[in-house]
Amino acid sequence: MPTKRRRLSKEEQVKFRALILRLQKAGIATGTSGEPLSVPKRLDIRQPEYFFSRVHHLPGSQVTLVLQCELMALRAGATIRDCAISLPWGPELDLSDPEYTPWYNDVIQGWPSWPPTVLNRWLTGEASLPRGKKLAGIVIATGWSPIPAGYPDEWPVDIELAVSDDCGNELNFTFRAGLDRTVKHVYERKCQARIDAGRLTKRRKLFELEEERTLDQDRATLEQDRGSISSPPAVALVGETTEGSQLLSSETKGT
């Protein structure tokens, strides 16, 4: 007797699709036609333009990416489960705690829409995307990855963005951002200015000490000169008085 096949619930369908995708990615046969399982697209990520997107080369080999993009959920309840952002020459960048980004105010300075909306919490899955509503803003990612010297200022850098949604769909995007060393150059100029100011202060102190030594020597020489001039008359006066007293004493005795 034929049995009625139970229809999978929405949650079961999500788990089933995610499992099929993992098996197919690992090269394991799933009993399907061999084509990837067709899963409805649940979200869309776009970059309107890359002019304002910047890869900031910061002091100490730090890198901060400020990426302009738009997020949109195409189905209700769509959530990004995982997100990875990487540069061509280094490891993945960190999306956590964007408000504590080094030189935060410097890297977002001059943004066309102020204050900019930071989209990190939607990319990391902390919040669900509102269906049919486009979220426009910036993504901030940081890392420690020295930029190769062969990349000149303003050079367009390819940004690899990979996300997976709550159904296990994997989406890969390639965005662009211009290389920016402005913050690094300003920092280096300030450091050099402090070094130069310290050297100038040190020279002034050495000059003042030398000037004080010269004044002390002049005072000592002047005091010595004054002493050598006043002493001889005093000695002569004492001598004359003594001899005069002796002569007067002898004359008195003779009388």
For the residues of 104-134, what is the DSSP string, one character each?
HHHHSTT-SSSSPPB-HHHHTTSSPPPBT--
pLDDT: is 35 or 80 the higher one? 80
Q: How much is the pLDDT for 166?
A: 82
Asked if residue 166 and residue 63 are part of one domain, the reply reads: yes
Predicted TM-score of the model (pTM) = 0.61
pLDDT: is 186 or 155 the higher one? 155
pLDDT 10s digits, 171-198: 889 999 999 988 888 877 777 677 767 7
Q: How much is the pLDDT for 206?
A: 64
Q: How much is the pLDDT for 141?
A: 94
Asked if residue 116 and residue 202 are part of one domain, the reply reads: no
79: containing domain:
40-180
Asked if residue 188 and residue 174 are part of one domain, the reply reads: no
Contact 178, 151 (CB under 8 A): no
Q: How much is the pLDDT for 247?
A: 44
Q: Which residues of 123-162 are buried (b: 16+ CB within 10 A; e: fewer)?
A: bebeeebeeeeebebbbbbbbebebeeebeeeeebebebe
Instruction: Report, as an integer, the average pLDDT of 103-128.
Output: 88
Q: How much is the pLDDT for 127?
A: 87
Please report which confidence band the pLDDT of residue 161 belongs to, taking 50, 70 and 90 as the band edges. Answer: very high
Distance CA(88)–CA(147), nearest Å, equals 10
* Residue of 36, 40, 38, 118 whose CA lies nearest to 73: 40
Residue ending a domain, among 148, 180, 212, is: 180
Longest dimension (CA), the chain: 177
Q: Is residue 235 part of a domain?
A: no
Distance CA(67)–CA(70), nearest Å, equals 10
């139970």: which residue's tokens?
A: 6
Q: How much is the pLDDT for 217?
A: 73
Q: Is residue 12 part of a domain?
A: no
Contact 169, 80 (CB under 8 A): no
pLDDT: is 39 or 84 the higher one? 84
pLDDT: is 119 or 211 the higher one? 119
88: amino acid identity, one letter: P
If one counts the domains in the chain, the total is: 2
Residue ending a domain, among 117, 147, 180, is: 180
pLDDT: is 212 or 246 the higher one? 212
Q: What is the mean pLDDT of the chain?
A: 76
Instruction: Report, as an integer, the average pLDDT of 56-82.
Output: 88
DSSP letter (8 states) at residue 232: H
Instruction: Report, as an integer, the average pLDDT of 236-255.
Output: 48
Distance CA(12)–CA(119), nearest Å, equals 30
Asked if residue 200 and residue 93 are part of one domain, the reply reads: no
Asked if residue 217 and residue 98 are part of one domain, the reply reads: no
Distance CA(85)–CA(103), nearest Å, equals 20
CATH number at residue 127: 2.60.40
Asked if residue 164 and residue 116 are part of one domain, the reply reads: yes
Distance CA(121)–CA(127), nearest Å, equals 6
Please report which confidence band the pLDDT of residue 215 belongs to, taking 50, 70 and 90 as the band edges. Answer: low
